[in-house]
Copies of this chain bind each other. A is one copy, B any other.
């Protein structure tokens, strides 16, 4: 465990508390708002809330682990005998990242068969991506970090391909009122996910120990807020608009998931 300054400690501490509150607020908002969308979209909104709820729990754990790993007295930060447990992030992602892709698929309201096959394929690729990234995250040397990071990039690239090629045709079939928003949700997912590999590569830089630790934690935290709460609210807005559009032209009802 690297020594960090009081400023770095406080920044991460406050960022964790902020993210806990943000995830909790997003969960409550999404679950309370379920009744605002049509029955066909409630599962997408429920799962969006679930992703935030799981993240809320893990940010509580990460916050507690951060406080246990460092002691602060009279403005001086010291490391304790307890290591900061970064694995909380990976167990969180193992659950939430497949669900994030499933919420995107669900809000598109494809046919039942397409929904199942896309959810399974994307969900499996997402889980694989997380599992392959973890050995690199805890590796002591940058060589192993790069190896596992590269392996993890394979399912990541497959997901990007699926999002832009596989889902592309389905997006063109979305009602005009939401087509732009669905593309935004896809782009936000891609952009926020693209953040993770960048953060993952921070240890390769010439930054010192405390700055690396702080950079990784703040970077993952921002990416998590955008990918989970940000995309979740966007999925909700898409669901509201699709509900309104379908109330006017009740044709799409046969595609009911």
**Contacts A29-B47, A34-B32, A36-B42; is A21 near B92 (CB within 8 Å)?**
yes
Least CB distance from A209 to B in Å reads 17
Chain B residues whose CB sits within 8 angstroms of the CB of A21 once the complex forms: 54, 57-58, 91-92, 95
A188 vs B99: C-alpha distance when bound (angstroms): 21
Q: Is A17 an interface residue (CB 8 A)?
A: yes
A39 vs B37: C-alpha distance when bound (angstroms): 10
A200 vs B22: C-alpha distance when bound (angstroms): 25
How many chain A residues touch B (CB < 8 A): the figure is: 50
Q: Mark A28-67, 1 if CB is under 8 A from B, else 0.
A: 1101111110010011001101100110011001000000
Chain B residues whose CB sits within 8 angstroms of the CB of A190 once the complex forms: none
Chain B residues whose CB sits within 8 angstroms of the CB of A61 once the complex forms: 17
Chain B residues whose CB sits within 8 angstroms of the CB of A14 once the complex forms: 85, 87-88, 90-91
A31 vs B91: C-alpha distance when bound (angstroms): 23
Instruction: Tell whether, in the assembled complex, residue A33 and residue B57 are in contact, meaning their CB atoms are under 8 Å apart.
Output: no
Q: Mark A92-104, 1 if CB is under 8 A from B, else 0.
A: 1011000000000
Q: Mark A121-134, 1 if CB is under 8 A from B, else 0.
A: 00000000000000
